Amino acid sequence: MTLQAPYETTANARGSHALEPTPSDDPHRDRLLAGLAQSIRENGLAGTQITDIVRHAKASRRTFYQSFADKESCFAELAEALTSASLAEVGAAVDADAPWELQVDQSIDAYLDILDADPAMAITFSSDLPMLGKRGVQIQRSAIERFAELFVALVHSEPMRRAGVPDVSLEKAVMLVGGLHEMMVRTVDRGEPVKALAPIAKDVIKAVLDPARV
C-alpha cells in the first residue's frame, strides 16, 4: 500500500530523515509550516515566537496572520500535516506481498524511524499538543484513528488473508495503536530511545495477528 503525502523526507543533521513540507497550492502556508517546524527543532514550541517562524519562512508577520490566527493554530495544522505524512511513510514502507510477520516489522520500524529521526518534534507533539485543549485532543484522537484505519487496511489485504491472519476490528486496532502511542509518550518523557519499543510492539501485534491462535 502506498499513500500520497504532502510531505517528503530530507536528510537531517543526524544522518536520518525527518518529514518536511513540499510545495502545494499555497506556498506561503507551506513555508510558514516549515518555518515553525524548523524553529521547534531548534528551540521547542514554547521557545518559538512568531518572529522565529517568519524568519525561517522568509515571510512577513502580515503574511503569517493572513494564514494563521496565532502560533497555536499554525502548530495544530503542522501536527495534522505531519500525521498525514507519517501515515504515507508507514504505508509505503510495507510490502503487501511479504510474509505477514515481516509486514508487521516493516510498519513498526517505519513508524519508530520517523520518531527517531525527529526527536524534537516527537517530544513537542507528546508534551505540547495536549496544551491546545479540545483541538489538541481531537488531533491526537484523529491521528490514532487514522493509524488504526491503516492497520485494518493492511491486515485485510489479500496476502494477509491467504496467510490466515484473522480480521481485526477498528476498535481493536484503536486499542493497539493507542497503546503504542502511550508507550511512545512514556518513552519520550523518560528520554529513552523510541526504537527500543520495537521488540515489544512487534511481539504484541504479532500475538494478536498470529493465525495459530484462531
pLDDT digits (tens, 9 = 90+) for 8-59: 434 443 345 677 655 668 899 999 999 999 999 999 999 999 999 999 999 9
Residue 170 has pLDDT above 50, yes or no: yes
Fold type of domain 7-213: Tetracycline Repressor; domain 2 (1.10.357)
Task: Read off the pLDDT of each residue in 95-124 and give the average, rounded to a whole number.
Answer: 92
Percent of the chain scoring above 70 in pLDDT: 89
Residue 2 has pLDDT above 60, yes or no: no
pTM: 0.85
Quick one: three-class SS letters along the chain?
A: CCCCCCEEEEECCCCCEEEEECCCCCHHHHHHHHHHHHHHHHHCCCCCCHHHHHHHHCCCHHHHHHHCCCHHHHHHHHHHHHHHHHHHHHHHHCCCCCCHHHHHHHHHHHHHHHHHHCHHHHHHHHHHHHHHCHHHHHHHHHHHHHHHHHHHHHHCCHHHHHCCCCCCCHHHHHHHHHHHHHHHHHHHHCCCCHHHHHHHHHHHHHHHHCHHHC
Closest CA to 172 of 208, 143, 140, 197: 208
Residue 5 has pLDDT above 60, yes or no: no
